[in-house]
A and B are shown apart, each in its own frame.
Chain A
Amino acid sequence: MKRFVSIWFPYLKTDWFSVRQPLLRDLPFVLVVPDHGRKLISAANESAVKRSIYPGMVAADAKAIFPSLQVTDEQPGLAERLLRRMAEWCIRFSPCVAVDGDDGLIIDATGCSHLWGGDKFYLEDIIARFQKHGYTVRAAIADTIGTAWAVARFSKDQFIIEPGQHAVALLSLPAAALRLDDDTVERLNKLGLRQVKDFITMPQTALRRRFGSQKVRKSGSREDGKKEWKTFGLSDSRSSGLITRINQALGTEEEIIQPVHPPAPYEERLPCLEPIVTATGIEIALQRLLENLCKRLKQEGKGIRTAIFKCYRIDGKIEEIAIGTIRASHHVDHLFRLFELKISSIEPALGIELFILHATKVEDHSSLQEKIWNSEAGLHDERIAELLDRLSYKIGMNSIHRYLPDEHYWPERSVKNVLSLDETTTTEWKVDRPRPLQLLARPEFIEVTAPIPDYPPMNFRYKGKLHTIKKADGPERIEQEWWIEQGQHRDYYYVEDEEGCRYWLFRLGHYDDVSYRWFVHGFFV
């Protein structure tokens, strides 16, 4: 036995505008389309409908009835796009969701609602979630699509039709509830058959004689150009014959919906017959999953940036390990090695029955053309990115640096740390002044003897050792960048002591200041 939910958005398009402009929510508001030199209302919001402004009216007439009416041009294709997106989002409720006409959705809820604790909660959740997003929505659940559709749109209070009760629920609804075209409804009304119960019990042979049961013949325009019998898709819902519609609503004729396909996630599953408890078993599972996933990624020209490997244990717990890469990769061995470092952290306990590998972030993989010799590739070599991935797992990304010049004079700020291997800059390295090969992270305080202002010191004491200065260059004054930080300038000297060791010293502040100090900042070769 099947169960279907029909969701109806009475004000789909106007709600969409209201979500974006909350002011419109309480104002009468219509969307218009140009038609033969006038503007026809294509959609009206709730407050406009209350003032007797309906779709199909001419905008000018509506304005006459209600002068402060808000009028906006309609966006073509809005309803289709919205419904498609909503249908994809509704995959949360059921794997099988279809777009229904231009104002509704159909959910195949067979075997789904018990997960929410029953039809009532299931339906309530659907409605609540759509209302939270700002959409007016009516939904009904029944055994057949036809009944659910009819109840969602025409019922006044009862929206949950218990299994087997769909025929009863239909009885008091108007004839239009059977998804009939306007002509058929009009003819039924002329005959005095206003409600479903008036004609549903009639012998079908009698009905067929007047209304026919034929499926409407449509010239299908497929690529092969063949004319074909198009079965009642939901898109031509209101043009099928009366008998078909009655049968569909009663469930004697099967109705097929065309579910939307959500974008397939980059995910691979591996269920196990026997629970896996050993590391080797996990490795085999991981290897197999990676091979499958990478094969697909390779075909699509994608690569993994982050991935999670989940192990579902028998006792219901989920163990997971995650990896990330510097550059998108679909190299099985490399990804396996990244995971391998963490496999030991998985605790299989009684055993793992299901493995899932999910690529959470996938990027385009720039496949460099294979070179005959790879030695010239430099930093762009895949293997370096792979090495850094491995290293960053063990030692952390913060330990890995690559430097580019930055536009600052202050030595500490003249280099910037970049993470990406591909990043380049237009700034040139400054090489006009001598710079030490080793720079202390923090300048260290030294004691000096400097008898003459603006002359290098005669000697200095660093770490308890006295260095007599034999040769010196300088000073090179570097001012503090006042727009970043306030402070004294530095006068740098490049000095050489009697042993031939070369240092970079500086005096912070002027010589005749009260509080100037000397520091050693680096070592030259």
Chain B
Amino acid sequence: MPALKADIITQLKKDILALQGFRPLLHQNQQIDIGTINHSFPNSLFPLGVNHEFICNDHEGLTASSGFITGILSSILKKGGAALWISSSHTIFPPALISFGINPAQLIFIRLRNQKEILWTIEEALKCEALTAVVGEINTLDLIQSRRLQLATEQSGVTGFLLRTHQRIFNTTACTCRWQIHSLQSETEDGLPGVGFPRLNVELLKVRNGKPGSWQLKWANGKFNEVVVKTSSTIEEHKEAV
């Protein structure tokens, strides 16, 4: 009986999504392994073929967002394909991509200064169906620009990752997901010295037809692992139990 109930609930959820105007994406055939974050998305699938926005306020935030994108890209690019990385202020250091499971030879990097050129390049790239994903770093983005990019993505099925830097004003933009990511202190096992596996605090600020949320992730063993946040109370409970 409980199984039947669950089936009914999933079916109902799907119906509700349809009523809310959610169209299942044609290009979606890949599962991205990022743990429970997936439950926040419609149909529990990481949305590909749409635009993801990342709010980055400083270098560190940009790096953290780039790291998260790289982790996701590695699953997308596993089957082959190519991606374009358009940056303006910073350069990705290709050897580091290896540790995130990407062969840097699969990526093409473009460095530009002019914001207009960046926007044009991102749009052209998003229209190119042969690409798997496009990462673009852009200072400011308004509704019209983001809408154009979103339309380009929806037509071609290329996944777009837009890094919005120096975004002081949270204006309205068209995107499927908006993220904010920052680094967290790493932890080493048994308090050993040195720096542990990189940890990120991932905040999903907005998701179309989904539930926003906040998680802590750790990049280890070639994938993102969710970190269960241990509050002090749980530790105490644990001690008591011992």
Contacts and interface: CB of A to CB of B under 8 A. Distances in A.
Interface of A: 374-379, 381-384, 387-388, 390-391, 394-395, 399-405, 411, 414-415, 424, 429-431, 434-441, 470-473, 494-496, 498-502, 522-525
B92 A402 contact: no
A437 B98 contact: no
B105 A403 contact: yes
Contacts of B128: 383-384, 387
Contact of B98 (A431, A438, A472): A431
A524 B95 CA distance: 12
B149 to A, nearest CB: 16
A424 B103 CA distance: 12
Given A437-B67, A472-B194, A501-B60, 4 more contacts: A376-B81, A391-B124, A429-B94, A525-B63
B9 interface: no
A439 B64 CA distance: 13
Contact of B199 (A388, A472, A500, A523): A500
A387 B99 contact: no
Contacts of A394: 117, 120-121
A349 to B, nearest CB: 30
Interface in B101-122: 104-112, 117, 120-121
Contacts of B110: 391, 395, 399-401
B195 A437 contact: no
B66 A437 contact: yes
- Of all A-B residue pairs in the complex, the 6 with the closest CB atoms, nearest first, are A525-B67, A439-B93, A383-B130, A381-B130, A523-B63, A500-B185
Contact of B108 (A388, A424, A430): A388
A496 B186 contact: yes
B104 A403 contact: yes
Nearest to B132: A375
A327 B96 CA distance: 29
A387 B106 contact: no
B193 to A, nearest CB: 8
Interface of B: 59-60, 62-64, 66-68, 70, 79-82, 90-100, 104-112, 117, 120-121, 124-125, 128-132, 182-186, 188, 193-196, 198-200, 219
Given A377-B130, A387-B130, A429 B184 contact: no
B93 A399 contact: no
Contact of B185 (A384, A401, A470): A470
A502 B198 contact: yes
Contacts of B186: 471, 496, 500, 502
A387 B84 CA distance: 11
B202 to A, nearest CB: 12
A383 B182 CA distance: 36
B106 A400 contact: no
B81 A375 contact: yes
A502 B187 CA distance: 13
A333 to B, nearest CB: 13
Contacts of B117: 394-395
Kindly name the residue among A382, A415, A494 whose own CB sees the greatest number of chain B CB atoms within 10 A: A415
A92 B73 CA distance: 58
A441 B87 CA distance: 13
B94 A415 contact: yes
Nearest to A429: B98
A424 B195 contact: no
Given A379-B82, A399-B111, A400-B108, A472 B195 contact: yes
A438 B120 contact: no
B93 A379 contact: no
A390 B123 CA distance: 12
B96 A436 contact: yes
Contacts of A378: 80-82, 106
A522 B92 CA distance: 10
A405 B95 contact: yes
Contacts of A500: 182-186, 199
Contact of B96 (A379, A382, A404, A437): A437
B195 to A, nearest CB: 5
A259 to B, nearest CB: 47
A436 B63 CA distance: 9
A387 B95 contact: no
B77 to A, nearest CB: 9
Contacts of A411: 93
Given A391-B124, A403-B104, A522-B93, A471 B195 contact: yes
